Amino acid sequence: MAIKARETITIIKERDVNATWRFYRIASSSSTPSQPTEAQGKAYVNNQTVPSGWSISEPAYDGTSTNSLYTCDLTSFTDGEVSWSAVSKASSYEAAKQAYNEAQNAKKTATNFMSADSTGIMVADMRSGSQQTPSNPSGRNVLIDNDSVDIRRGCDILASFGENVVIGQPEGWHQRINSDETVFAYGSTVYTYLTPGKILSENIEVNGSYYLGAYSLRVAGDGKLVIGRRK
């Protein structure tokens, strides 16, 4: 008796990735560009013909563009076929654009409200475009130097805060306060002078008690000023 046998051989052709390229395109941030076609992909694989509107080199952010950078990857396979990835925004470009815009906003704020020269740093409202400097201010401003913070009108100091606190203009009525004394004066003329244990007011010196009508003014033993009714 004859025996017949049959054998089947299945041949499977597998494909592998041959190469991958990334393409770049700058376009409107509100409209994603179309994906290149399969024919354009094969044209690049065979002849290095870059699809229209796309670039094989990543462009740097130029500091002025409001558009976005898009990317699309082309993959070629060993069987001659190609495939394009979805078009997406480049996160690094978006980050660079955001950083630039924030830096520009910070620069604008500094230009509008801050100025500096050898006198110190001045804070003032310069949004009108006035070219003010700490040495040549034209309005109200705050000057910061190495020993005080001054509130000014132009170059006139209205109040100064440092080791000495001065409220008012030194050539007019003003008050000067520091750790040792409090002085009320007009120019260089002192009208009231207070220091621990002593008061001098318009040539009236108080070391103990001073009486004015039904009221008393005295310096207590701990240096405190006590004002009350006369006993």
Q: Are residues 125 and 85 in the same domain?
A: no
Q: Are residues 219 and 119 in the same domain?
A: yes
Contact yes or no for 102/110 (Cβ under 8 A): no
CA distance linking residue 68 with residue 93, whole number of Å: 7
Q: Is residue 6 part of a domain?
A: no
| Span of 7-11, 68-72, 85-89, 143-147 with lowest mean pLDDT | 7-11
Q: Is residue 161 part of a domain?
A: yes
Stated length of the chain: 231
Q: Are residues 126 and 206 in the same domain?
A: yes
Range of the domain at 40: 17-89
Look at residue 162 and give its three-state secondary structure.
strand
The stretch 182-198 carries a mean pLDDT of 78
For residue 227, the number of C-alpha atoms closer than 13 Å in the C-beta half-sphere is 3
Q: What global pTM score does this model have?
A: 0.47
pLDDT band at 185 (very low <50, low <70, confident <90, very high): confident
Give yes or no for residue 149 having a pLDDT over 80.
yes
Task: Write the CA distances from 51 to 75, 89, 147, integer angstroms.
Answer: 14, 18, 65
Give yes or no for residue 81 having a pLDDT over 70.
yes
Q: Which of 181, 205, 203, 210 is nearest to 194 (CA)?
A: 181
| Span of 75-89, 142-156, 187-201 with lowest mean pLDDT | 187-201
Provide the number of structural domains found in the chain.
2
pLDDT band at 84 (very low <50, low <70, confident <90, very high): very high
pLDDT band at 160 (very low <50, low <70, confident <90, very high): very high
Q: Are residues 225 and 166 in the same domain?
A: yes
Q: Is residue 2 part of a domain?
A: no
Q: Which H or E element spans position 20?
A: strand 17-27
Which residues does residue 185 pair with via DSSP β-bridges, in sequence order? 174, 190
Q: Which of 136, 133, 103 is nearest to 121 (CA)?
A: 133
Would you state the pLDDT for residue 12? Answer: 67
Give yes or no for residue 5 having a pLDDT over 70.
no
